[in-house]
Amino acid sequence: MDIVLILVRLIHIFAGIIWVGGAILMAVVIGPAIQKMGDDGSKFMRALTGDKRFIRLFPAAAITTTLAGLLLFAMGAQNHFTQFGFIVLIIGALAGIAAAGHGGAVLGRMAQSFMALADKVAQNPTPENRAELQAFGANYSRHLNISVALMVIAVLGMALPRYLS
């Protein structure tokens, strides 16, 4: 097997693990904990989204995963599958591209907006401002769940084709 194909596949897999694993961790564990923490959760989220490493990790992993996947496709890696396996792979690829687009276009902008809203609440912690922040968090959670669902479809679409005949 070609060493370049192996390296690109490993990059695709490991970047995908970081991207999907981090998103699932945020959706299933960290996000609900933040919602339960109230004002302290807001402080934690401000610290987390204020960390440049965290803010850069997800887009970098998403872009790396997507580009490596497209490169694998261009290199002909999909030729090892049956026609049905190829269809499943394409569905997974489209879901992955949609997850990357949704994450960048929606979740990325929402994370930036969160900082301004959280600062507003920190400076003026009225019940109205807190309610606005709580509603924002619920909306963010909905969008995060959409991205995670697309990622799960993508992972299944990448994993299953080799087993389909």
- The full set of domains in the chain, from first to last, is 3-163 (1.20.120)
Burial 80-89 (b: 16+ CB within 10 A, else e): ebeeebeebb
Among 9-18, 70-79, 139-148, the minimum mean pLDDT is found in 70-79
What is the pLDDT at residue 104? 84
Angle at the Cα of 39 (from 33 to 42), degrees rounded to 5? 65
Average pLDDT over residues 18-42: 89
Distance CA 55, CA 85 (A): 35
Non-local CB neighbours of 62 within 8 Å, separated by 6+ positions: 19, 99, 100, 103, 104
What is the pLDDT at residue 150? 97
Write down the pTM of the prediction: 0.87
Average pLDDT over residues 82-91: 90
Average pLDDT over residues 81-110: 90
Burial 100-110 (b: 16+ CB within 10 A, else e): bebbbebbeeb
Average pLDDT over residues 38-49: 80
* Position with higher pLDDT, 67 vs 41: 67
Structural contact between residues 55 and 111, judged by C-beta atoms closer than 8 angstroms: yes
